Amino acid sequence: MTLRVATTQAELDGCIALRIEVFVDEQDVPMDEELDGRDDGALHVLAGPDAAPHCVARVQLLGDVAKIERVCVAKQARGTGLGADLIRFIHAVMADRHQVASFKLEAQTYALQFYEKLGYLAQGEEFLDAGIPHYLMTRPA
């Protein structure tokens, strides 16, 4: 399984296709909320063979904060550790390419323990995003 930054249109298309499969088809997130117009300025990372990723995420650089978004794993790859590998890869890429002081993300509530194992701490109150309970989580770089 290869971890990499998307550099081709085919890889970006694969990232978006997996996000639609997981968020729109499985979790009923409206298409216009998933495709929010922020993909062009973001870094996209993926894990998997060729342009058919098994795990993807999008990263927005906000000053010295890297905001990790749209993390999803294909059904056949869930529970394999691939999601954790992808998050650790993002940490390494951002440390190598940017002066990042911290990371933040908005985690679905069921995934809190997953992110806590990667050094993230929940902040504030639970909130809804696309009708799904989330928490803001942060981690120093």
Residue type for position 63:
G
Confidence of residue 5 (pLDDT cuts 50, 70, 90): very high
| Strands, sheet with 132-140, edge to edge from the N-terminal-most edge strand | 3-5, 43-47, 55-62, 65-73, 102-108, 132-140, 121-129
Rounded Cα distance between 111 and 61, Å, is 23
Question: How is the chain split into domains, by residue range?
Answer: 3-100
Specify the higher pLDDT residue, 96 or 61. 61
Mind listing the pLDDT tens digit for each residue in 71-116?
Answer: 999 999 999 999 999 999 999 999 888 889 999 999 999 999 999 9
Nearest residue to 22 (alpha-carbon basis) of 58, 54, 47, 60: 54
Give, in words, the CATH class of 3-100. alpha beta
Residues 102 and 64 sit within 8 Å (Cβ to Cβ): yes
Residue 50 has pLDDT above 90, yes or no: no
Note the pLDDT of residue 119: 98
The answer on pLDDT for 38 being more than 90 is yes
Share of the chain above pLDDT 90, in %: 91
43-47/102-108 β-pairing: unpaired
Instruction: Report d(CA 84, CA 90) in Å as an integer.
Output: 10
Tokens describing residue 47: 């894990």
Q: Which residues contact 35 (CB under 8 A, 6 or more apart)?
A: 16, 20
Question: In which band, very low, low, confident or very high, does the pLDDT at 51 lie, cut at 50, 70 and 90?
Answer: low
Rounded to whole angstroms, the Cα distance separating 19 from 49 reads 16
